[in-house]
Every structure is written in structure tokens, then in C-alpha cells.
Amino acid sequence: MNTIYTGDTQHISNIYNGLIYLGSMFATRHDTILKRNIKHIVSIGCKPQPIPGCMYYTFEVEDSKDDECVRQLFEVIMPQIHEIMTNCVCKKEAVLVHCQAGMSRSAAVVIMWCIKEFGWTYAVAYEYIKRCRPAISPNTGFVKYMNNNVS
């Protein structure tokens, strides 16, 4: 896997071949999006300012370890996000997945995408994403779900 450690990891991190980025809401700045040729933005729990030429996908979910929030993220929202991310990779169009801080919700989504896409365990996916974006810290409810529901 060709991962670039960009140095701008406070706001945006390259996770997969310049096609999947993980970041905070500050990663949705116009210059950041243009510089990386991002065409799709998946926003989890916050709404960025629109950028011309980008497709937006907004999902509302709390960063809570409450069972209902965890189920909503992984069982309702994640299948839709997985499809978006996979389609972007297939079309070679960059996608940014972000939440407010780029640490918990969006990190959990990208970890789960890696688990499903590459057949990794939670531990392998977590360590990989952590190397790409050291700031990640999925909440304990998300971690428990991913550990218990990975086949």
C-alpha cells in the first residue's frame, strides 16, 4: 500500500494511494481540497461549506459510545459510506472522510472500510491508520463494535 505521510496530519491524512483521505472539519478548506484533487467529501456529524466541483455526503451521528449511536454508525450509515468510498477508489476519484476532529467517527469509518476492503483484523487496520494519522482515537463503543463484529 502506497501511503504518503503528508505532514499536514493535523487536518488531513492520506490513507490510501491519494484516493482516500481522513481529516478534521478543517480539511474541507478550499485550498486543501483543490491541492489533493478531492472530488467527494463524506462528512460525519458536521456540515462543511460547499466547494464547487465536489460531491457531498453528509451523515448525522453522535460521537458517543451509546449502543444506539454505535449501531447507527456501523449498521445504518457504514454500508452507504463503504459503497461511496469503494466507488471513488474504483473510479480513481479522491474522497475525504471527515468528522469534527478527524479522530473518532471518521477514523472508525476508515478503519472499518479497511477491515472490509482488505480483510484485515481490527488491530491491523487500527495500526495502519494510526501510522497514517497519529491523532486517531475512536471512542470505546466504536472499538468494541469493530472488535466484536469483524469476521
Q: What is the pLDDT of residues 41-73, one digit of tens each?
A: 999 998 878 888 999 999 999 999 999 999 999
Compute the distance between CA of residue 97 and CA of residue 100 in angstroms, rounded to an integer.
11
Percent of the chain having pLDDT more than 90?
A: 81
Is there a domain that residue 125 lies in?
yes
All residues at 6 or more sequence positions from 128 whose CB lies less than 8 Å from its CB, including other chains = 1, 3, 114, 120
Q: Where residue 127 sits, what CATH number does that domain have?
A: 3.90.190.10
Is there a domain that residue 114 lies in?
yes
Is there a domain that residue 60 lies in?
yes
99 a catalytic residue: yes
The 3-state DSSP class for residue 17 equals: coil
2 pLDDT tier (thresholds 50, 70, 90): very low
Active-site residue (options: 88, 99, 114, 132): 99
Range of the domain at 45: 13-148
Q: 146 exposed, middle or buried (CB, 10 Å; 0-12, 13-18, 19+)? A: buried
All residues at 6 or more sequence positions from 18 whose CB lies less than 8 Å from its CB, including other chains = 4, 36, 37, 94
Strands 12-16 and 20-23: antiparallel
Is there a domain that residue 37 lies in?
yes
Residues forming beta bridges with residue 57, ordered by sequence position: 42
Is there a domain that residue 18 lies in?
yes
Is there a domain that residue 46 lies in?
yes
Is there a domain that residue 36 lies in?
yes
Q: Domain tally for the chain?
A: 1
Residue of 59, 79, 64, 45 lying closest to 142 (CA atoms): 64
Is there a domain that residue 3 lies in?
no
Q: What is the pLDDT of residue 5?
A: 39
Compute the distance between CA of residue 147 and CA of residue 11 in angstroms, rounded to an integer.
27
Q: What is the pLDDT of residue 47?
A: 83
